[in-house]
Structure formats: C-alpha cells, structure tokens
Amino acid sequence: MTVHPRGVNHLAIATRDIKAQIEFFTDVLGCQLKALYWMHGTEGAWHGFLELNPDSYVAFVHHPDNPEKPDFGVTHAGTPTSPVTAGAMQHVALHVEGMDELLTLRDRIRSRGIMVIGPVDHGFCQSIYFGGPEGLVLELTAGEAIDDRAWIDPEVVGLVGIDDAELARYRDPADYQRPAEAVPQPALDRAKPHLNFTDDIYQMLATASDDDIRALLSDSEPPVKVND
C-alpha cells in the first residue's frame, strides 16, 4: 500500500475572535467544540478545535498579534473565485454525506440569517457556498471519488507545463520504503520549501536528534484532569 496523507486532521485558521468562530461553527454548522487551550509553545495564543469527525477538525489559532481585519485580495479571497496571495487559503470545502445532509445544512445556515449560494453541480460534487466570520469563504460539498480520466483536461495540462512523463508520475506517485535507519536532517536550502525560522533555529534543528526535539517541544498533558 502506498503511504500518503489520508485526510485533513485539522485545518488551522488564524483568528482575532475565537469565540465568534466557535459560535459560528457550533450554532450555524452544528460542529462540537472539542478543545480550547493555551497553544503549546506560543506565548499568549489560544488553540480551539471544532470536530468534523473523530479524525478531522477545523482548528483556530487566536494570536494577540494577528491583524484584526482581512485584506481582500491579499490575505483573503473574499469569494470562491477571487484572487489571493499564493500560498493563502482561497476557500475551504467541508464534506457532507449526500444531498439530504447538504440541503439540511443549507437551510440551517439560512435560518441563522446567512446567505447561501447553491447547490451548484460541479459534476463530481454538489456544493453550497457561504461566508464565515473574519472573511472566511466556506463550501459544503457532497460528492464522489474523482475520475481522473474525465477530469484532467489536456489543454490545462499543457498550459501548466506538464509533459507526458510528469503527468504519468503525478497520477501514480512512486512508493517509498522507509529505511532501517532514520534519514538525517538535510542542510538548510532556502530554495526548497521551508518554515520561516531564523538560521540559528535551523542550525539547532539540523543538529538535534528527533528524540531531543520531541522532548523539547512535546506537551501532552491536557489542561483538565478527567477521571473515567
């Protein structure tokens, strides 16, 4: 079996009003609040988790230095088709099971005074669109597995600059077998994707062992003790 990510465990979205986001996702969308605590390793920040299913959550990071207002076209798209800075979230689509759930949630959202567009038929999925707090662009979608034979457009493939060999590799990525010994950290190459750490932090990461990093950064104790 090829090893690859199997879903989104959590999507972490920045906020300056985490209570408004919790209110929206619980009342408007019916998601349960599952966690709200001081964010590990981040002074002054709170972390909240709203459950989509036991393996998937929408999370919010309330940081005191987050800018207060979205900058549409830069930090936020504002609509499902508008431009935004590369690397930013254009919109997020959350899965529902079938048309009945989609229409039930459409009516629930509208009953809270929020306009909903759709359902719109996209061929492999049916979608509704609406806005969330702080400029979020949200979609709910009911769909099926995408048939790549029908939905990879040769014209767009050419415009993107993908040749036949690349396309074959993208459709069937190579498997990877983990070696007996852990692969060591590579040297920092800022031409490759990387986190926005300073050089001294990267030097520490490159020289510390995985066990050292785990011991330094882990914080597994919940804020509330539960006695079952």
**Are 43 and 140 within one domain?**
yes
**Are 119 and 51 within one domain?**
yes
Q: Is 28 exposed, middle or buried (0-12, 13-18, 19+ CB in 10 A)?
A: buried
**CA–CA separation, 49 vs 56, rounded Å?**
9
pLDDT of residue 104: 97
**Are 106 and 33 within one domain?**
yes
Residue 2 belongs to a domain: no
DSSP code string of 46-95: EEEEEEEETTEEEEEEE-TTS-SS--BTTTB--STT----TTS---EEEE
Number of domains in the chain: 3
pLDDT of residue 41: 85
pLDDT of residue 204: 87
Q: What is the pLDDT of residues 99-108, one digit of tens each?
A: 999 999 999 9
Q: What is the pLDDT of residues 30-73, one digit of tens each?
A: 999 999 999 998 899 999 999 999 999 999 999 999 998 999 99
Nearest alpha carbon to residue 92 among 144, 49, 130, 146 = 130
Does the structure show a pLDDT above 90 at 10?
Answer: yes
pLDDT of residue 223: 92
**Are 65 and 78 within one domain?**
yes
Q: What is the pLDDT of residues 197-216, one digit of tens each?
A: 898 988 888 888 889 989 98
Domain that includes residue 200, residue range? 185-217
Q: The domain spanning residue 17 has which CATH number?
A: 3.10.180.10
Does the structure show a pLDDT above 80 at 1?
Answer: no
Average of pLDDT values for 171-184? 92
Q: How far is CA 95 from the centre of its chain?
A: 13
Average of pLDDT values for 8-20? 96
